[in-house]
Chains A and B, each alone.
Chain A
């Protein structure tokens, strides 16, 4: 079967189309939020939240929430965790890094136990960790939720772009200039949680944070100003997703792993070219 045949088959178009829309939106959101997360040294939050996402899926399954509702069930749990992790990581009394790791590893452990107790099959566990093996698992409703939430992320980012820059670059100055830094940080954490939940089914809990890390890291090696980094991060993320997605369809690979691998390759390529050009990494 050729590419055009795959794409023209009406049944597949519907399935691929949904995954494609959700994937592109999640990649876009993750790359936008990722720039601030990486620069603020909050990468751990993204990683920690994806582990909590695994826990949330396990809990949803245990509570008898069927697969089609798992998205709505995980959202509040991950959002709560986002607020908690942000609080912990900014606390003076606790080592933020360690606090974040405690929440995430704890969530994985409890999630695994819940899976054991409810007798969740290892294939289900595998798919929540590594992403769905097929592209059939996304429902119409998943797509609608994804579109609405992604739109929220993009609108928020667009409206607060200048504040987001100010808070990312220098929180002390931003606060002295009357910028609502706490609210921006909170929104950043919550929207990261939302993005992770949206992308988790397709990408898998272990790999979703790659979408947050790689595009900004690549973009930072290409540009020296914030606006270009944000825009190129979004473009790189969407392109990597599209390439990875079609390769995965073509060769019957897992979408998440393929997309992340493409991201890794692009990052290495850009770093390599830069190293040769500037004789340093």
Chain B
């Protein structure tokens, strides 16, 4: 799948909380057709990294460059604001086209015919066309995530970045969402997903980036792991990655955060 067509290049990236660096000198690339999962403990900087990649946070050092892509889709973690927000599914989905709209003076809430077509096709692809007129806040958690995924796809079908997309979903909805993401990947969308769910990361993704937690007292914590899922799996039983190493024996304890509900 890896065609070496680089979409996103990250070089020597450093991100910190206050004085404490959570990500240091990180370099990796996201290529066309990649399915990359970013795993790591709480506080290891997974979400911070994603915020930096999506322009929601300034890197302290280093470079993040979009190379092969002009647009990217982002599925952030849901906020409280959204849960009771009066917006229709259509309004949410079509807002993903905002960056693609022609520049210049525009009046009102409407989108161009091109964007409307794009949003309509995306909703149809995710089987939520029939929900278009429904208020977003009346949908189930799984349906809401699909709508946000539709919005991300409206923004870009080349690269989407997902921040813990299955958090709060029941097992069935989780399975369905992973299936959709798998389908998108098969259709050629590069996926970059931050997740707690290491088991799913191992089965679903092709590459894994594991951010190891840097304890202030442990100066030389292990460097972040980057490799294929198979390599990562092998490293779990050995001494490869210190932060995710299994407690004592057996396979890693993957379900740090089981789906609730």
Interface residues of A (CB under 8 A from B): 39-41, 158-159, 161-163, 165-166, 168-170, 172-179, 220, 223-227, 229-230
Chain A interface mostly helix, strand, loop or mixed?
Answer: helix
Q: How far is the CA of A40 from the CA of B79 in the complex (A)?
A: 11
Point out the residues of chain A lying under 8 angstroms from B133, CB to CB. Answer: 225
User: A54: shortest Cβ distance to chain B, in Å?
Assistant: 30
**B134 in contact (CB, < 8 A):** yes
- Is B55 in contact with A176, judged by CB distance below 8 angstroms? yes
- Is B54 in contact with A175, judged by CB distance below 8 angstroms? yes
- Is B86 in contact with A229, judged by CB distance below 8 angstroms? yes
- Is B109 in contact with A226, judged by CB distance below 8 angstroms? yes
Task: Pick the contact of A176: B72, B82, B101, B138 (CB < 8 A).
Answer: B72
| With A40-B81, A172-B74, A173-B151: A161-B86 Cβ-Cβ less than 8 Å | no
Point out the residues of chain B lying under 8 angstroms from A176, CB to CB. Answer: 54-56, 72, 74, 76, 155, 161
Q: List 10 A-B contacts (CB under 8 A).
A: A40-B81, A161-B108, A162-B98, A162-B111, A173-B96, A173-B151, A175-B54, A177-B98, A179-B99, A225-B133
Q: How far is the CA of A229 from the CA of B136 in the complex (A)?
A: 14
- Is B107 in contact with A224, judged by CB distance below 8 angstroms? no
The 8 A-B residue pairs with the shortest CB-CB distance, nearest first, are: A224-B135, A225-B88, A176-B54, A172-B76, A176-B74, A177-B99, A226-B87, A161-B109
- Is B107 in contact with A158, judged by CB distance below 8 angstroms? yes
| With A161-B109, A166-B95, A172-B74: A226-B88 Cβ-Cβ less than 8 Å | yes
| With A161-B108, A226-B109: A175-B55 Cβ-Cβ less than 8 Å | yes
Point out the residues of chain A lying under 8 angstroms from B106, CB to CB. Answer: 159, 162
Q: Tell me the nearest residue of chain A to B134, going by C-beta.
A: A224
Q: How far is the CA of A230 from the CA of B106 in the complex (A)?
A: 17
Q: Tell me the nearest residue of chain A to B17, going by C-beta.
A: A92
Interface centre among A161, A170, A177, A230 (most CB of B within 10 A): A177
- Is A225 in contact with B107, judged by CB distance below 8 angstroms? no
Interface centre among A168, A174, A178, A224 (most CB of B within 10 A): A224
A-B contact count (CB 8 A): 97
- Is A173 in contact with B76, judged by CB distance below 8 angstroms? yes
- B residues 121-149 in Cβ contact with A at 8 Å: 133-138
| With A158-B107, A177-B96: A224-B88 Cβ-Cβ less than 8 Å | yes
Point out the residues of chain A lying under 8 angstroms from B74, CB to CB. Answer: 172-173, 176-177
Q: Tell me the nearest residue of chain A to B75, going by C-beta.
A: A173
**B202 in contact (CB, < 8 A):** no
Q: How far is the CA of A224 from the CA of B98 in the complex (A)?
A: 21
- Is A165 in contact with B99, judged by CB distance below 8 angstroms? no
User: A176: shortest Cβ distance to chain B, in Å?
Assistant: 4
Q: How far is the CA of A174 from the CA of B98 in the complex (A)?
A: 9
Point out the residues of chain B lying under 8 angstroms from A168, CB to CB. Answer: 85
Point out the residues of chain B lying under 8 angstroms from A229, CB to CB. Answer: 86
**B105 in contact (CB, < 8 A):** yes
| With A158-B108, A161-B108, A224-B134: A179-B98 Cβ-Cβ less than 8 Å | yes
- Is B82 in contact with A225, judged by CB distance below 8 angstroms? no
Q: How far is the CA of A179 from the CA of B56 in the complex (A)?
A: 11
Q: How far is the CA of A176 from the CA of B90 in the complex (A)?
A: 20
| With A159-B106, A165-B109, A176-B72: A226-B86 Cβ-Cβ less than 8 Å | yes
- Is A225 in contact with B96, judged by CB distance below 8 angstroms? no
Point out the residues of chain B lying under 8 angstroms from A178, CB to CB. Answer: 55, 99
User: A31: shortest Cβ distance to chain B, in Å?
Assistant: 14
Point out the residues of chain A lying under 8 angstroms from B51, CB to CB. Answer: 172
**B158 in contact (CB, < 8 A):** no
Interface centre among A159, A162, A169, A176 (most CB of B within 10 A): A176
Task: Pick the contact of B82: A158, A162, A166, A170 (CB < 8 A).
Answer: A170
Q: Tell me the nearest residue of chain A to B133, going by C-beta.
A: A225
Q: How far is the CA of A227 from the CA of B74 in the complex (A)?
A: 23
Task: Pick the contact of B91: A163, A165, A179 (CB < 8 A).
Answer: A165
Point out the residues of chain B lying under 8 angstroms from A225, CB to CB. Answer: 86-88, 90-91, 133, 135
Q: Tell me the nearest residue of chain A to B156, going by C-beta.
A: A177
- Is A162 in contact with B95, judged by CB distance below 8 angstroms? yes
- Is A169 in contact with B55, judged by CB distance below 8 angstroms? no
Point out the residues of chain A lying under 8 angstroms from B105, CB to CB. Answer: 159
Q: How far is the CA of A176 from the CA of B155 in the complex (A)?
A: 10
